Amino acid sequence: MARYLVTGGAGFIGSHLAETLLKHGEQVTVLDNFSTGKEENLHFVDKLSLPSGGFTLLKGDIRDLSSCHESCRGVDFVLHQAALGSVPRSIDDPLTTNEVNIQGTLNMLVAARDAKVKRLVYAASSSAYGDVPSAGIDETEVRPKVESQVPNPRSPYAVSKLAGEYYCRVFYKVYQLETISLRYFNVFGPRQDANSHYAAVIPKFISALLDDHPPTIYGDGEQSRDFTFIDNVVQANLNGCSAPPETSGSVFNIACGERTTLNTLYEDLCQIMDTKQEPHYASPRPGDVRHSLADISKAAGVLNYSPSVTTRAGLKQTAQWFVDNCSMKTI
């Protein structure tokens, strides 16, 4: 039995990691300041029969080094998910994004090093790629993004997540702290917040359809993303903890390896939910990239990563969760 620290563990991704680890019989500490995380995301803890000390919840901020040190005591693995997400939020408030995502990550690396943690797995972001040439001559030809490409961040958020990757690599090379960075591609699933001003597209679409309101699509809707269901991200994190030491300092794409346009995504959700609202199209947002598609062969070969849930199956599960938890409708 190992002790895991999940930073941002009351958030969307972190709570799924904590739940899976506890169900596997591991010990879990969650560190969260509840600025975006929610206590209700941790209600599963009450339904589990846990041994004494099996779960610890610490309210603290990764910008506070002492909180990071406290949370790392006795920890074997750190799954560092805490961050301020959202490209638009970072454009509105780049200073706070920098403080949380860069200084906060540096604090966690220092605390993990000092506590002699075995490995830190870092939640990186596909936004680091920006619009590096992934598109061919026409839009039907979109090349997957590979880890060897030179990053080209287009927003403060992307810069902040890329800086975290570089810090992880440096802490491995300089201090021998084992680190792995996972570049997430558009993660979605149950517990994702639909009410935030900076909510991601899938919960926004589902929420609008449940409320019989037309959703907003920024641009022409033909921009595409590699949507990744939460279960696949959980698998990648656990595999990252058990990967061989020689993987340390490396970066891996975590996605499904298939792209979906926003128009197709919306049509699929309308079909799944048996409803239809004509979307409203608005001007493209600053900082957004046109296409995002991952090459996941490196993660498959090194981390034994294999997406277990397709995008379509994940959309069905996610829509059903929103119906069960946020609406009186059925699908």
Just list the catalytic residues.
Answer: 157
Question: CA 262 to CA 282: how far, in whole Å?
Answer: 13
Question: CA 25 to CA 47: how far, in whole Å?
Answer: 14
DSSP-derived secondary structure letter, 119: E
Question: CA 27 to CA 9: how far, in whole Å?
Answer: 13
CB atoms within 10 A of CB 48: 11
Asked whether 231 and 256 are in contact (CB, 8 A), the reply is: no
φ/ψ of 209, rounded to 5, equals: -65, -40
* Helix or strand run (H / E) with residue 23: helix 12-23
Question: CA 211 to CA 287: how far, in whole Å?
Answer: 29
Closest CA to 251 of 281, 317, 295: 295
Rg of the Cα trace of the chain?
19
φ/ψ of 293, rounded to 5, equals: -140, 135
Report the DSSP beta bridge partners of residue 55: 28
CA dihedral angle for residue 190, residue 192, residue 193, residue 194, rounded to 10 degrees: -70
φ/ψ of 48, rounded to 5, equals: -100, 145
Q: Find all residues with CB under 8 Å of 131, minimum gap 6, and list them.
A: 152, 154, 289, 290
